[in-house]
A and B are shown apart, each in its own frame.
Chain A
Amino acid sequence: MAEFKNKLFEQMVKDFAETEVKPLAQEIDEQERFPMETVQKMAKLGMFGIIVPTQYGGAGGNYPMYINAVEELSKHCATTGVVLSAHTSLCVAPILEYGTEEQKAKYLPKLSSGEKIGAFALTEPNAGTDAGNQQTVAVECDDHYVLNGSKIFITNAGYASVYIVIAVTGKLPKGVEMTAFIVDSEMPGFSVGKKEKKMGIRGSSTCELVFENVVVPKANVLGKRGDGFKIAMKTLDGGRIGIAAQALGIAEGALDATIQYVKSRKQFGKPLSAFQNTQFVLADLATKIAAAKGLVGVATNAKQNKLPTLSVNAAQAKLFAAETAMEVTTKCVQLHGGYGYTREYPVERMMRDAKITEIYEGTSEVQRMVISGALLRK
């Protein structure tokens, strides 16, 4: 029997993004405001539990649906896209994959309903691309760990109430032992620090997290003690597809806006779309977007079917989609001319939003390391 769910989901999320997300995009960027009203509407529709099985209160959908949602939301508002991506890829997915039955039963229903938003904390002031250089520590003590340290650049911070936190739990002959923890925002000693003022995705909350003697029960260790680095890296493999989809959406949104603009803007007595320069630029951008979409599809399929190529597929999708988003938005601003540089037109915001996709969840350089590493290991 033919399946209709992916088609219907795409129709729903497209309609939702155009009707509910697009009208707010400029305002939340200007005001650097978290789009809580949109998040609540998305929660009501079940969008925070797309990939969660129904037994844990989710919709029982699949990875392609979730990726499609990030793409469609990001066409109009990259902020809204990343709220969903960080929640799903970086918090819901690792609990689904590494959580115990008790952890799944405790956390997934509220994360699925959107009652609780999720986030992920790996990056520290001295541990960015060099993620192994962690300084947040968790000391084992009876039935719990005591967490001390701080994390920075945490997406959804302040609005999230469930955080996957990576911390050092011991020394290894080479480097440190890391463990992943599920930390509730209500745990005493947990606090949200400085909020970053960013170039783009300005409605997304990006803050520091501070842990001062936070008592985390052993029941909240995600996976096994010492699995923290592996869990973080595998989680980021999945997360990169979300960011690739965000980048793809930004590029598609910028191209759509530009096609509209060049048809109506007249110079030298004819619309910009009548000039061959415009036509050729649009053709090149559309072709790159199509290639990015293909790579996102390959990576999404790898995630859905748990293929061993996932890590490379996700790195390639993110690398190419992010660089495509940057190029497409830059050229779309150029096609808009002076108007494109003003905040009257969405391409200005989209160009600022695109830049982060080359940086977070592994910079483009990290993606090249992942890809070349896999090539040279053979």
Chain B
Amino acid sequence: MKIIVCIKQVPNTTEIKIDPVTNTLKRDGVPSIINPDDKAALEVALQLKENCGAHVDVVTMGPQQAEVALREALAMGADNAYLLTDRAFAGSDTLATSTIIASAIKKLGADVVLCGRQAIDGDTAQVGPQIAEHLDIPQVTYASQVDYVDGALVVKRQFEDRYQTLRVATPCLVTVLSSAYKPRYMNVADIVAQDQKQVEAITFNDVVVNPEDIGLKGSPTKVKSTATKQFDKQIATYELGAEEAAKLIVDTLKQKHLI
């Protein structure tokens, strides 16, 4: 079984800073990490590899700096890594990105494509499902458990109030939730060994895509502006007895649908 895991390098949002003038993310000096849902998808792939034997490749699209994310994946136990990088890819929105990644997956070939549910910087949850559409393969989103049973994947999907378990034949694409899988640490031997491995570059010339479908030209999404959510603290002071105070708190929470 060949598995391709799609990962994205994202700024670590626990240390994120917003530029107060432009209202955009300050990326300078912000450490980059593998997007948490994607890392969980990699963990799923590595567990499938351990349990039933699989070849695990990782791909990412991004600038040269994204190589370190692929190297981390190799140090966790992935077999090969591919960096989709080209000037022609720059400015791609989710649709154009998924077009490029799907074309690379076609070239590499895969029985199972695993993606994270969504990235913590964009939060769209679009790229995984779009890749599946481009490849014309079934997709299962929001997976909290993935097993390989009798030649098919058995996937548990998590919803807010329920689970759904279904069987899906390969080839297929699954998007994974970070809450369900704790990714392993990189192993020291694999950390050392990855320096001997190549991260293969895949450029525009290596894939079959229409230049009109990628980059800025192929991106119907236009970002008009971004804004940071503002929270207005409203502080009210009451002087009440214990009983009245408790009632007020409960009523307020109920009114805000918090309880």
Contact = CB atoms under 8 A, between A and B. Distances in A.
A65 B68 contact: no
Most buried by A among B67, B187, B188, B195: B188
Nearest to B68: A4
Contacts of B195: 1, 3-5
Most buried by A among B71, B75, B186, B193: B186
B188 A45 contact: yes
Contacts of A12: 75, 185-186, 188, 191
A61 B190 CA distance: 10
B43 interface: no
Nearest to A9: B191
A16 interface: yes
A46 B188 contact: yes
A29 to B, nearest CB: 24
- What size tier do the contact residues of chain B reach? 10 to 19
A61 B187 CA distance: 11
Given A45-B185, A46-B187, A7 B192 contact: no
A5 B194 CA distance: 7
B189 interface: yes
A3 B71 CA distance: 10
B162 to A, nearest CB: 31
Contacts of A3: 195
A30 to B, nearest CB: 27
A47 B190 CA distance: 12
Contact of B191 (A15, A49, A58, A61): A61
Interface string A306-342: 0000000000000000000000000000000000000
A61 B72 CA distance: 16
A54 B196 CA distance: 14
B192 A59 contact: yes
B185 A60 contact: no
B39 to A, nearest CB: 11
Nearest to A60: B192
B70 to A, nearest CB: 10
Most buried by A among B185, B187, B194, B195: B185
A9 B185 CA distance: 10
B194 A4 contact: yes
A207 to B, nearest CB: 29
A49 B192 CA distance: 12
A8 B189 contact: no
A85 B224 CA distance: 55
A50 B75 CA distance: 14
Contacts of A60: 189, 192-193
Contacts of B189: 46, 54, 58-60
A92 B176 CA distance: 41
A372 interface: no
Interface string B185-227: 1111101111100000000000000000000000000000000
A5 B192 CA distance: 5
A46 B186 CA distance: 10
Nearest to B182: A19
A11 interface: yes
Nearest to B194: A4
Interface string B13-29: 00000000000000000
A47 B72 contact: no
Contacts of A49: 188
Contacts of B72: 8, 11
Contacts of A5: 191-192, 194-195
A315 B187 CA distance: 32
Most buried by B among A46, A54, A58, A61: A46
Interface in B21-69: 67-68
Nearest to A15: B185
Given A3-B195, A61-B191, A61-B192, A8 B185 contact: no
Contacts of B75: 8, 12
Contacts of B192: 5, 54, 59-61
Contacts of B194: 4-5, 8
A358 B159 CA distance: 56
A7 B186 CA distance: 12
Contacts of B185: 12, 15-16, 45
B188 A61 contact: yes
A188 B89 CA distance: 69
B69 to A, nearest CB: 11
Given A3-B195, A4-B195, A5-B194, A50 B188 contact: yes
A47 B192 CA distance: 12
Nearest to A69: B188
A51 B98 CA distance: 42
Interface of A: 1, 3-5, 7-9, 11-12, 15-16, 45-47, 49-50, 54, 58-61, 65
Given A8-B71, A12-B185, A58-B189, 19 more contacts: A1-B195, A4-B194, A5-B191, A5-B194, A8-B68, A8-B72, A9-B191, A12-B188, A15-B185, A45-B185, A46-B188, A47-B188, A50-B188, A54-B192, A59-B191, A61-B191, A61-B192, A65-B188, A65-B191
- List 7 tightest A-B contacts by C-beta distance, closest first: A46-B188, A59-B188, A59-B189, A12-B186, A4-B71, A60-B192, A8-B191
14 contacts: A4-B71, A5-B192, A7-B68, A8-B68, A8-B71, A8-B191, A9-B188, A45-B188, A46-B189, A59-B188, A60-B193, A61-B188, A61-B191, A61-B192
